[in-house]
Amino acid sequence: MMSPAWRRASLAVHVATSVGWLGAAAAYLALNVPALASDDETTVRAAYLMMEPVAYYAVTPLAVLSLVTGVLQALGTPWGLLRHYWVVISLLITAFANLVLLLHLPAVAGVGHAAREPATDVFRLGGDVFHAAAGLALLLVPLVLNIYKPRGLTRRGWRAQQRHGETTSPAAAAQAPTNP
């Protein structure tokens, strides 16, 4: 278990990267608006050209950091990684979203490379609204789960609780003062 100071620091980093991921995904989605709605070729081309660096240098690092810090947060706190359904579901969704993102990056790069070519008709590139909107919607599920923390132990969590005779919730244990 982490000390209270480390727990708060790791939680701050996890929240910052997770919220940052949401913001970067929203920025990527916002770039689709001029790409699909503008009549100005320069604006459309610029929107497509910006999607690649936003995906590679904002969305992806924040997504990976969110996954890593979430796992560290779960392992270092009384919630545990596999004890509660809401943690397991959050982990699975975050891992799935990271996988889809990493697999989709070559397509994003391909559109960026196509938009660099002056001969490319950028009005035919089609945008990337589906991935951006679906990813953003998917990320809201762990957000809600991590705020509300619905009850429900996994079988592993239930067995651990019975084995250790725990009667307090992880929330109460996390807030309990500890001696350094």
Considering the chain, what percentage of its residues have pLDDT values greater than 90? 77
Res 28 pLDDT > 80: yes
> How confident is the model over 97-113, as a mean pLDDT?
98
Higher pLDDT, 18 or 80: 18
pLDDT in tens, 53-94: 999 999 999 999 999 999 999 999 888 899 999 999 999 999
DSSP the chain: ---HHHHHHHHHHHHHHHHHHHHHHHHHHHHHHHHHH---HHHHHHHHHHHHHHIIIIIHHHHHHHHHHHHHHHHTSTT-SSSBHHHHHHHHHHHHHHHHHHHHHHHHHHHHHHHHSTTS-GGGS---HHHHHHHHHHHHHHHHHHHH----B-HHHHHHHHHHT--S-HHHHHHS----
> How confident is the model over 14-27, as a mean pLDDT?
97
Question: Which residues, 6 or more positions from 128, have their beta carbon under 8 angstroms from its beta carbon?
Answer: 28, 32, 35, 51, 107, 108, 111
pLDDT in tens, 137-173: 999 999 999 999 888 888 888 888 888 876 555 555 5
> How confident is the model over 41-49, as a mean pLDDT?
98
